[in-house]
Chains A and B, each alone.
Chain A
Amino acid sequence: MPSSVIHAALAFLLAVGLLGRFYDRRALALVLVIIVAPELDTAFGWFMDGAHRTVLHNMVLAAVLAGVLYWETTRERSAIRRRWGARGVRLVWIGLFVHTFAHISFDWAHLSGINLLWPLQDRFFALDGELALSTTDGLIQTFVEIRPDPETGQGVVDAGQGGTRADTHVPNPAKPSDEPEPGPVDRRFPIAVDGWQLYFIVTGAFALVAKRLQTPRSSEIDREGNR
């Protein structure tokens, strides 16, 4: 995974604006919990092959949650609205937004990707490619490629499919590799790899600091005391 630090930085960058008048330290703490929680699927790895990036890292869960939240927050006797008011509704929706975009989507574009449609389909997908305009090659798009199979001649769609959860292991500090190696285990906790990952840590921190320095307008603070 890109480290949780990067997920959190991206999530904070999104949450600063999208939480609107409900933005405060407690809301940020909840965002942090939501961002770290999917990594719990590493724990399933003790008894289930390839559980990490499968059980909680998929778009099916996000879609189901969106459906459930829509039903729950729009019905008349919404439990969230009764208990926590407009603030609770805002927090759960923005929580789902940062989970889907800042966490799952960015993992999709990282290493072996995520088990995108699990449990409907057991197949890892990794988003990689480029989109460019060229004077010699025209429009170049390599995210989804369709090319003929060399043996059968039929068109094959390559959208970055990898293995199934049985043969895909995404390294993580709790389980660095699939096959235990002799000697001491090197558990690596990456904080940032490459310039762009460090960049997002800086940008997320910048947004938090800049927000603090702003003089808030009346519609930007929640005066109802829903805290």
Chain B
Amino acid sequence: MPPTLVNIAVGILLGVALLGAAFDRRAITVVAFAAAVPDLDAIVGALGIGGANATLHSVFVPLGAAALLYYDTAVRDQSWLGDRYGWYGVRVAWVAIAAYAVAGIGPDAFSPESAAFLYPLSDRYYAVTGGFLLSTQDGIVQTYVAFGEGWLGLETPGTIASHHIETWIDPAGEERRVGIVESGWQAVLVVTAAAAVPVKAFVERLDRTAAGDR
């Protein structure tokens, strides 16, 4: 999987983008943590349940959470979360679920390392990789999905049984390795997320002062 720090960086960027007036240290920490949670399935996998990038990388986890949150805030007469934490809690919860799905699962599903995001319906790992370009000679070239035999084909390296994703807790060889950043763009992403947080904090302070003045 792309290093967890990359998941956290994207999670922070999503938090900066979507927390709005709920942005504070506690909220951004919750959102960053939500983005890191899916990678814990490496530990669950080592215990013999599912595998790395499977159990917690299932889209049904955030879908279930979103359904619960929707039920609590929109269907019930009295929202438990709203009563306890007000609009702040509801906003943070929605952004945390978004971070779990987009920042926690997304980077793995869009990398060659793949994620079994339909687990437990399917224990097959899928990877959205390829390219999309316009060429004056070849027209539109798209290799992310193959359209064949009526099915949308994504690349798949195998199933939980046949494909082993190497993690620090379950290494292939002697060496245990924890990746922090794997490439230039990941380094830039992490720095960008780190720079965005103080800027957002400053912007929020200005906006709240302006709102208070009215």
Contacts and interface: CB of A to CB of B under 8 A. Distances in A.
Interface of A: 10, 13-14, 16-21, 86, 90, 97, 101-102, 105-106, 108-110, 126-137, 143, 184-196, 198-199, 202-203, 206-207, 210-211, 214, 216-220, 223
B16 A196 contact: no
B147 interface: no
Interface string B3-27: 1000000100111111111010000
B16 A14 contact: yes
Contacts of B137: 184, 186
Interface stretch (B49-57, B157-165, B174-182): B174-182
Give 9 nearest A-B pairs by CB, closest first. Answer: A109-B184, A219-B211, A195-B110, A199-B110, A127-B184, A17-B17, A17-B16, A16-B17, A195-B129
Interface residues of B, number: 66
A133 B210 contact: no
Contacts of B210: 21, 86, 219
Interface of B: 2-3, 10, 13-21, 23, 87, 91, 98, 102-103, 106-107, 109-112, 127-138, 144, 174-185, 187-188, 191-192, 195-196, 199-200, 203-204, 206-208, 210-212, 214
B103 to A, nearest CB: 8
25 contacts: A13-B13, A14-B13, A14-B196, A17-B20, A20-B207, A101-B191, A101-B192, A128-B184, A130-B181, A130-B183, A132-B178, A132-B179, A132-B180, A135-B175, A184-B137, A188-B134, A188-B136, A194-B130, A195-B109, A195-B129, A196-B111, A202-B110, A210-B18, A216-B20, A220-B20
A57 to B, nearest CB: 14
Nearest to B111: A195
